[in-house]
Structures are given as structure tokens and as C-alpha cells.
Structure 1
Amino acid sequence: MPSTSARGQKPLDLLVLSMLFERPMHPYEMVQLAAKRHYDRLVKLRTTSIYHVVARLGERGLIAVHEVEREGNRPERTVYELTDAGRAAHRAALEALLADVPTEYPQLYLALAQAHELPLADAAALLRRRRAAMVDQLARVTALIEGADERGVPEVFRLDGGMRVATLTAQLAWLDDLLDRMDRHDIAWLDDVLRDQNHTNRLDGMYL
């Protein structure tokens, strides 16, 4: 997810709106729910960040106080709910996210575009390190999906996990093929390209 979501909503803003779409909650309940549902796979999460988002959304009129809970000697807890404006903002942002294709800049693409600037063996070793991390990530997401399936969680609540598994599986297959060709020197690396270009150091025109 990009740093700023559609229609001006930041990723964590949309996540808070989504939780309040379910029911009124106090911020700490949102923190607990976000941890329980592993929402850190979707956005960067910090406890204080959710409180800041709640304050900001309140200032914008997207959420409002539903009630203030008081239990014995425990501190008061303010429960928030979506306003009509909040529901409209939530829907507009979600519709745009589902339909639009924003320009994103994954670090992996940048790394691959510049990989030729390293010796082939070094680039291959680093890609193998990345591959190992991707395999671990795939295993974690797969385990989350399997656990949800065992608990009877309907697929509709974990569509992002299915997409992530498909994406990681495809990326790993592509990366394995690349590493295999690198090991067999079946891909022209920078020295080979420069040699073929009559020993010139200019790489003009060498781009997509």
C-alpha cells in the first residue's frame, strides 16, 4: 500500500475507519484488534500512531465520540464511531483503492534495475539473501492463512493473503530462474555488455 491512499486517506487512516465501520471502539481496542488480526502486514503499526490518527480523524469530522466508558476506578475510555462524513470518506477511499492502479516504486524493482553495477557473483549472493527472506515471508503468510482456514474464517476476510501468496510465489519463480541463469553465466552482465559495445563506458540507450 502506498504512503498516501486514495482520496487523501493515509493507510492507517483507512484502517481505523475500517475498524470503526464494524462497530464503535475506543483506541486501545483498535490497537488490540489490529494486533490480533496481524494488520501489521498491511500498514506500519505503532500504538501511539493509532491514537494520533483517531485525534486527526476527529478534527476532520470523520469520527465522533460515541460514549465515554467508566468502570470502577479505571480511567475513562472514549469510544468513537464513524460520522456520515466518515462513512462517505471510507467508501470513497476503498472504492478508489480497489479500482485505481497508482504508480508505485517497490525497492526490489530499483534494486534489479541497478544490480548490474555490482559484480555478478556479489549480486547473486545478495539476491539469494533476499530470496531467503521472501521464502520466510511466504511461509508466515501461508501459516496465517492456514490458521484462519482452520478457525473457519471465510476467505473474503483474507483476500489480501491470497494475493500476497500468489505474488510471492510468482516472484520467487522468476528469481529462481534468474539466479539459475546467473550461476550458468547465461545472462550478459555489465562487463559482457561493455565488451560487446566496443569497450565503451557509455550506457546510453541501455534502458527499457
Structure 2
Amino acid sequence: MGQRVGATVTPLAIAVLALLEERPMHPYEMYQMLVLRHEDKLVKVRPGSLYHVVTRLAEQELVRAEGIDRAGNRPERTTYRITAEGRETLRARVAELLRTPLPEYPLFPVALGEAHNLPKPEVLALLRERIDHLAGQSAEIETMIAAAERKQVPRRYWIVLPYLRATLRTEIEWVEQLVGELDSGALPWEEFDPVTGERAEACDFQPWLPAPEAGDIDEPAAS
């Protein structure tokens, strides 16, 4: 029996279903299309993982094998087509993600939350490197937008690019402000011994909230 409509599918599975909504393809062609369209900037794309996703979608009856072809000495390639249930699942999942902000657990906030464990000069140097990387990514997005406009690609197909540009610009602005506060001393920082790397003074952590008392936190249910 096929997968329930609206059931969770991975970002790569969404990309595969969306490609097959356009037309039937074999997995390697899907991989080439994703890279050509720079969708590897949105989802992690590897040939092996893509083949695994296609196999799983076929098991769930969201796609089906349509035929096998071989060109010259190349290995046989199976072409897949999206099913009616696959189409419904794609639309339901996209609608869910558009509607509901979900926790994505990005890594940069984790690093920011623990940056106080590093000396200020190191934090400043690292953040400046990050700004350079972000600026490079922003320039790459600008190039992609310009190419889409030049080729007169309908904007509905690349509305994600201005979104990525806006998020990059916002992060650059925020990190630059943080660097300025650190550099000027407006944001106080602990001193570290330059030789040992240890804090110059005993660490005085001040949690935002009082420590939880017994009974405040539920015990995890036994598995």
C-alpha cells in the first residue's frame, strides 16, 4: 500500500518528486538536473543518496519504474515516473512546509551560544572569516539571479534566490555589528591566558534562568 498522503518526506525526496512532476527521468539525470539548477545549495545531493531515495519512493509507491534503457556501453538505467499518490504527497508536503515554521537546528547559533569559550581575538578573526565566506555566497546568488533574469526564466521558478540573498545580507549585517561591538569593547569579553589558553579568572557563569528544581523537568519515557 502506498504512503499516506502528507506523510513526511525528506528534502531530497521532495526535490526528486518535483523533478518527476516535470517528466519521467532516470536517477542520474535527476542528479545532473539538481546540480545544473544549483539545487544542491538547497538540499544535500549525492548520487548514492539520491538512488536510495528513489528506491524508497518506489517502495512507497510514490514513484514507479517505467522502463529500462541502455545507450552504448553505459549501464542500464531505469526511468521513473511520479504516481498520483506521489503528486499528492509532494503537494501536501510543500504546503506543510510553506505554512508551518519548523525547527531546523542550524549550527551557527550553537557556535554563537558557546563562543564565550574562545578568546576574543580568535572570535573576531573567525567572525571576519565568516563574513568573507558569506559575502562570497551572496555574490554567487547575485550571479544566479542575473542569469535567471537574462534568460527570462519565469520568476516563480527562482523566488528562492531573493530569499537566500536576503538571509545572507541579514546575517552579514548582524555579524558585522557583532564584530564592531567586540572590537570596540562595547560587548565585554572574558580574558584568556595567551600561553595556557585558560581563562584568566575563574569563570562566573550567570544562567538566564534559575536552576530547575527537582520535579521541574519530566523524566523521558522509557523506550
- Report deviation, 1:67: 3.0
Structure 2 stretches lacking a partner, 5+ long: 1-5, 192-200, 210-223
Residue type of the alignment partner of 1:25: M
1:123-138 correspondence to structure 2 within 5 Å = 123-138=123-138
Secondary structure of the 1:81 match is strand
Secondary structure of the 1:43 match is coil
Query: For the aligned residues, what is the CA RMSD?
Result: 2.0
**TM-score under structure 2 normalisation?**
0.80
Identity of aligned residues (%): 38
* CA displacement 1:132-166 (0-9 Å, x = unmatched): 11111111111111111111112111111111100
Secondary structure of the 2:68 match is strand
Give aligned pairs, total.
Answer: 195
What residue is the counterpart of 1:96 in the other structure? 96
What residue is the counterpart of 1:106 in the other structure? 106
Residue type of the alignment partner of 1:15: A
Secondary structure of the 1:64 match is strand
**TM-score under structure 1 normalisation?**
0.86
- Report deviation, 1:48: 2.0
- Report deviation, 1:104: 2.1
Alignment partners' CA distance in 2, 1:63 and 1:119: 53
What residue is the counterpart of 2:43 in the other structure? 43
Task: Say if 1:65 and 1:78, in contact at 8 Å, map to a contact too.
Answer: yes
Alignment partners' CA distance in 1, 2:149 and 2:118: 43
What residue is the counterpart of 1:16 in the other structure? 16
- Report deviation, 1:127: 0.6
1:108-123 correspondence to structure 2 within 5 Å = 108-123=108-123
Q: 1:62 to 1:202 in 2, by over 3 A?
A: same
- Report deviation, 1:72: 6.6
Task: Say if 1:7 and 1:96, in contact at 8 Å, map to a contact too.
Answer: no
Structure 1 stretches lacking a partner, 5+ long: 1-5, 192-198
1:148-167 correspondence to structure 2 within 5 Å = 148-167=148-167
Q: 1:119 to 1:90 in 2, by over 3 A?
A: same
